């Protein structure tokens, strides 16, 4: 029996209508367009409406991915969702997306790995397909980070936005997912975290007073660790795929900060490699687990990604978590 591989068969994405520009933020906190662009590369970000949630955005991206893959919702067998902003603790966002899509046959669950969540979910789906247990899977990254952003803190509120991306995985006789590297280091849990809401800091007057239900980040330290971690993950994922960095056609780094993306790309091979980076952080900011599938879907939609292209995807997030994956476009 020939080996079964997993390959991406369709992509989709969704962003809310509301645009929050740097000029808007200048009226909210002490900052400037020049300060934000110089330090992050962000010009604007999308903000979900009051009644628009991660499941809504994830379902919209999922519908697009299913349509592009030619898979009917009722034929979906599994839904894996990477998110750090679930609609609620339970039921999972995957359950809510399953209901919204009418994917009656599908099981599903959420993956909590912060900004690395999409790659962890994608690896989980690929393993299920390669084992022969399922024939297709919908993998979603969806975030409403505006709901956990402290809009009084200029160092963090300028960074985050809302959105979703999705892919459909199917079996293939050629390796679509060529390699995966995943990792965590819980000793770095204090670099990027959201402490409120769990059993350690449950909802209370004190947790609200202390603003524990918002994202906390040690920016300078996170930057340094992110560059090193993503560089090493990119090298190792490429090596595991049996490729050299020069063989990669496109690179999609987690869209956290343009300076991080540039630093990693330069360390991997200078300007020639940096030109292969797909970047949309200027329009969407950091959308956590949604950032990689959102960028991938846009690149597929505008024709940049073509059959045979080899795509390196790399992420890091709170935990600390990280991941690297090489995918060949079938």
Joined tokens for residue 135: 């024939």
**286 flagged as catalytic:** yes
Kindly report the three-state secondary structure assignment for every residue of 177-215.
EEEEEEEECHHHCCCEECCCCCCCCCCCHHHHHCCCCCC
HSE-CB of 239 using CA atoms within 13 angstroms? 8
C-alpha distances in angstroms, 107 versus 32, 126, 172, 293, 312?
A: 46, 15, 22, 21, 28
Alpha carbons 292 and 287: distance in angstroms, whole number: 9
Q: Which of 115, 157, 257, 280 is catalytic?
A: 115
**254 flagged as catalytic:** yes
Residues 38-50 as b/e (b if ≥16 CB within 10 A, e otherwise) read ebbbbbbbbbbee
DSSP strand pairing (192-193 vs 216-217):
antiparallel
Q: Which of 136, 254, 257, 280 is catalytic?
A: 254
Which sequence positions are flagged as catalytic?
115, 254, 286
């Amino acid at each position: 029996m020939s080996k079964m591989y997993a390959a991406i068969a369709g992509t989709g994405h969704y962003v809310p209508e509301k645009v929050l520009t740097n000029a808007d933020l200048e009226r909210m906190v002490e900052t400037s367009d020049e300060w934000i662009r110089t330090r992050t590369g962000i010009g604007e970000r999308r903000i979900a409406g009051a009644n628009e949630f991660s499941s809504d955005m994830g379902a919209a991206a999922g519908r697009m991915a299913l349509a592009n893959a030619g898979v009917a919702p009722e034929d979906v067998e599994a839904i894996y969702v990477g998110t750090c902003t679930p609609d609620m603790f339970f039921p999972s966002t995957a359950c809510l997306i399953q209901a919204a899509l009418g994917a009656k046959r599908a099981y599903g669950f959420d993956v909590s790995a912060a900004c690395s969540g999409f790659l962890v979910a994608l690896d989980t789906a690929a393993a299920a397909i390669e084992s022969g247990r399922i024939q297709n899977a919908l993998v979603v990254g969806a975030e409403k980070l505006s709901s956990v952003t402290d809009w009084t803190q200029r160092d963090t509120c300028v960074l985050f936005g809302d959105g979703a991306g999705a892919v459909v995985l199917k079996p293939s006789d050629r390796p679509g997912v060529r390699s995966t590297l995943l990792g965590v280091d819980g000793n770095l849990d204090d670099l990027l975290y959201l402490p409120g809401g769990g059993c350690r800091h449950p909802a209370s007057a004190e947790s609200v007073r202390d603003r524990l239900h918002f994202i906390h980040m040690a920016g300078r330290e996170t930057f340094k660790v992110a560059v090193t971690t993503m560089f090493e993950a990119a090298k190792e994922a490429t090596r595991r795929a049996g490729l050299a960095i020069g063989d990669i056609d496109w690179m999609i780094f987690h869209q956290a900060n343009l300076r991080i993306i540039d630093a990693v790309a330069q360390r991997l091979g200078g300007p020639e490699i940096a030109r292969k980076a797909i970047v949309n952080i200027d329009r969407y900011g950091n959308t956590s687990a949604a950032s990689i599938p959102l960028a991938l879907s846009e690149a597929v939609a505008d024709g940049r990604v073509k059959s045979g292209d080899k795509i390196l995807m790399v992420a890091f997030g709170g935990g600390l978590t990280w991941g690297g994956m090489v995918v060949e476009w079938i």
